[in-house]
Amino acid sequence: MFEVKKISFQDKEMAEKAFAIRKKVFVEEQGVDAALEYEHEEEAHHYLLFLGEKPIATARWRETVNGIKLERFAVLPEFRNRGIGEIILKEVLKDVTPLKKLIYLHAQVKAVPFYARNGFKKIGEQFTEAGIEHFLMKYA
C-alpha cells in the first residue's frame, strides 16, 4: 500500500529519508554535484512516498518570484515505471493548485513525456541545469 506523507525539513529523521533517495537518484545515478542538490530546503514543502514502511519516492515544492516551483521528484530506480511518480505528483498538485499561482518545473528531457501526460506544457528552448538537459514546463 502506498502512502504519501508531508514531511517537515525540521524532522531530521524524515528529512534524511528524503535526502537518501535524492542522493541515490541525483548525486550517485545522475552525477549532480551534491552542493547543488541541497539548497532551499528550509523554504520548501517536502513529501515522501512510502510502500509500507519503505520510503521509495520524494518531491518538494516552493514558492518563487515566478510562482510555485515543483522540484526534486525522485523515485528509487527499482520502483520506476509503476505509476509511483504520478502518485506523488498528484498529491503535490492537490496541495498547490488551490494557491491559484503559476505552477512550473524544470523537467529533465527524459521526464518531459511524463509531465506532459500529467498536464504540463513545454515552454521555450532546452537548457542545461546541473549538467543535465531540461525544459521549462508549466501546468495547464
Is 2-139 CATH 3.40.1190.20?
no
pLDDT at position 41 is: 84
pLDDT tens string, the chain, 140 residues long: the values are 899 999 988 899 999 999 999 999 999 999 888 877 778 888 999 999 999 999 999 999 999 999 999 999 999 999 999 999 999 999 999 999 999 999 999 999 999 999 999 999 999 999 999 889 999 999 98
pTM score: 0.92
Distance in angstroms (rounded) separating the CA atoms of residues 96 and 91:
9
pLDDT at position 35 is: 78
